[in-house]
Structures are given as C-alpha cells and as structure tokens.
Structure 1
Amino acid sequence: MPATPSATSAGILLYRPGPGGPEVLLGHMGGPFWARKDAGAWSVPKGEHGPGETPLDAARREFTEEIGAPPPPGEPVDLGTVRQSRKTVAAFALDGSGFTGAGAVAGRTDDGTWVEIEWPPRSGRTLRFPEIDRAEWFDLDTAREKIVAGQRPLLDRVAGLLP
C-alpha cells in the first residue's frame, strides 16, 4: 500500500538582535482551541504549498498573508525541514532588524489567512478564525517554550547562524 503523502508547508523565521540576545518572530495560532494556550501554541508564520510553487515563494506569500505585511528584504537562509505532526515544514531564516510589521496581525481589515472549523465540535455550527491572531518577538529561550514542539529544531538552527 503506498504511503499517504504528507502536507508540505513553508515559512519564514525572522530574527533580530535583542537586549538579552537574539529574538525571533512567532505567531500565536488562532481559533478557540488555542485561545487559552500559550506554551506550544506559537508557530513560524507558514502555510501549505503545492508542487507548482517553490518553498521560498510559498514562505514569502504565507508570511505576508498571516502577518499582514511582507517580509523584509534580504537574503533568506535555508533552515531545512522539520516534521510537525503529519506535515513537513520548510523554513527560511531572514534578518528582521527594523521590521515593524508584527503589529499588523491585530486589527487586520483584509482577508488575511482564515480557517473555518466546526465549533464547538459536533455542533453543526461553522465559525471563521484567523490562522494567526497575534505575532510577537521572543528571545530564544522563551521561544523554545512557546513554539510548537515540531518546530523547536528551527530555533537551534537559526541560533547557529548568529554570533
């Protein structure tokens, strides 16, 4: 029996120097399941892509859709892939020094990236939620507590790029 293909996603992990060391930009996953969760409820801004789009093109598109502002210019560094549940996530590190678009997530008026789910479960009622409801900068130690477990290796990889 052939294996079921897994979804592939791509995202951009912005980093910048911070007062206590390097910081990364993470997005808090939206919707009622994640509303009261903090540890393990944050993610690299990312999304799925198909065979007709390069991972880097998808990462740029998804960053813009989820954060509400395009990623800053610069040369992204390929961080490779990680497994998150049944999904493969390709990530790229990008210097976000001077990036001020993280606040664009809250109060967005465009369509952004939304997901429709049945909520409460088995209620027959479908509600619409943003995939990311806010974005914040975190030092690497705090980010390790906040990010979903499958993406933690990306933090180690970006730390290896920094002085």
Structure 2
Amino acid sequence: MTEKRSAGLLLYRRGGNGVEVLLGHMGGPLWARRDAGAWSVPKGEYVPPEEARDAARREFEEELGMPPPEGPYVPLGETRQANGKVVTVWAVESDLAPERIVPGTFEMEWPRGSGAVRSFPEIDRVAWFAPGDAAERMVKGQQVFLERLADQLADGAGPTGG
C-alpha cells in the first residue's frame, strides 16, 4: 500500500503587525464546532507521478475556488502527520481577501448511518492569523511549517524561488 501524500500552499503576508499566515477551517459536520486543531494549510492528496508542487497549486484552486498566487515558492519541506500522511508545503507571499473564496465540496453520509448523502465545503472559511494564533488553531502535525517559515524569513531569505 502506498503512503498517502498531500501537498499545499501556505500563504503569508507582511504588514504593520508583522507576518500573518492564511489558514482554512476544515469543512463538514465533524469540524463545525471546533476551532483548536480544525485549521489547516490549504492542501490535498495527490498520487505520484504528479509532482507535489503541481498538486499544491491544483489543490489550492480546488479548495479555495481561485487560482493559486504566482511564486516565488519557498519550499518548507515535508512532515509526517499522526495519521501517517506525508504533507509537503510551499510558502508564497500573497494577500488574499477571505471573502473571495468559493470552496470546493465533498460528499459524505450525514448523519452517519442515515443513508443520506450530503455535500459539504472542503474549507468552510479562511482567515489570516499571526503565527502564534495560527499554531493554536492548526492541525498539530502542520505546526512545523510555521516554524520553518519563520526560520526562512529570519534568515532574510524570504522568497527565493524554487
């Protein structure tokens, strides 16, 4: 069995209050009332030979309903989440108005065991957060990407292409 792989884009912007990152709140009834641990880098699964960066761009558009920003893309590497999925992320500096998203949808049986299949948004909202606030809200296995972004920006490297 091949391991599940996922790729995404972590948008960041610089402003008067410092750096902020854009996270998406996971959609569907299982996440509706949760805040802590319910936010994620916009991402999705892919299967090689599709390249991770191509998948990250495709998934951004599928999940947010708009084209991904143009680079340069800063590789933040990969991590293995608790569920075993390997997640690869790139950071890209861009400003996005959260009210512009038109989320993609998925279907699931809800309520469970009812036989009724309903459609739900993959991401029900997005918001900008300071890194500390983002870390409190996002999936624990993805918090490493905030640290790596901070390291990149502290090194003065910023967007270096890739």
* TM-score relative to the length of structure 1: 0.88
Q: Could you list the runs of 5+ residues in structure 1 that have no partner in the other structure? A: none
CA–CA distance in structure 1, aligned partners of residues 97 and 18 of structure 2: 21
Please tell me the residue identity of whatever aligns with 2:146. L
Matches within 5 A, 1:57-72: 57-72=54-69
Instruction: Give runs of ≥4 in structure 1 deviating > 6 Å.
Output: none
Aligned residues: 153
**Which residue of structure 1 lines up, in the alignment, with residue 119 of structure 2?**
128
CA–CA distance in structure 1, aligned partners of residues 96 and 9 of structure 2: 15
* TM-score relative to the length of structure 2: 0.88
Preserved CA contact (<8 Å) 1:69 1:101:
no
**Which residue of structure 2 lines up, in the alignment, with residue 52 of structure 1?**
49
Task: Say which is worse superposed, 116-125 or 128-137, in terms of deviation.
Answer: 116-125
**Which residue of structure 1 lines up, in the alignment, with residue 99 of structure 2?**
103
Task: Say which is worse superposed, 38-47 or 79-88, in terms of deviation.
Answer: 79-88
Please tell me the residue identity of whatever aligns with 2:98. A
Preserved CA contact (<8 Å) 1:67 1:101:
no
**Which residue of structure 1 lines up, in the alignment, with residue 89 of structure 2?**
91
**Which residue of structure 2 lines up, in the alignment, with residue 7 of structure 1?**
4
Q: CA RMSD in A?
A: 1.4
| SS in structure 2 at match of 1:162 | helix
Cα deviation, 1:61-120, whole Å, max 9, x if unaligned, reads 111111122222221011111122121110001111xx2343222xx3xxx532211111
Preserved CA contact (<8 Å) 2:77 2:90:
yes
CA–CA distance in structure 2, aligned partners of residues 146 and 135 of structure 1: 12
CA–CA distance in structure 2, aligned partners of residues 18 and 138 of structure 1: 12
Q: Could you list the runs of 5+ residues in structure 2 that have no partner in the other structure? A: 155-162
**Which residue of structure 2 lines up, in the alignment, with residue 77 of structure 1?**
74
Kindly state the Cα deviation for residue 125 of structure 1 after the two structures are TM-superposed. Answer: 1.4
Please tell me the residue identity of whatever aligns with 2:151. G
CA–CA distance in structure 2, aligned partners of residues 87 and 101 of structure 1: 30
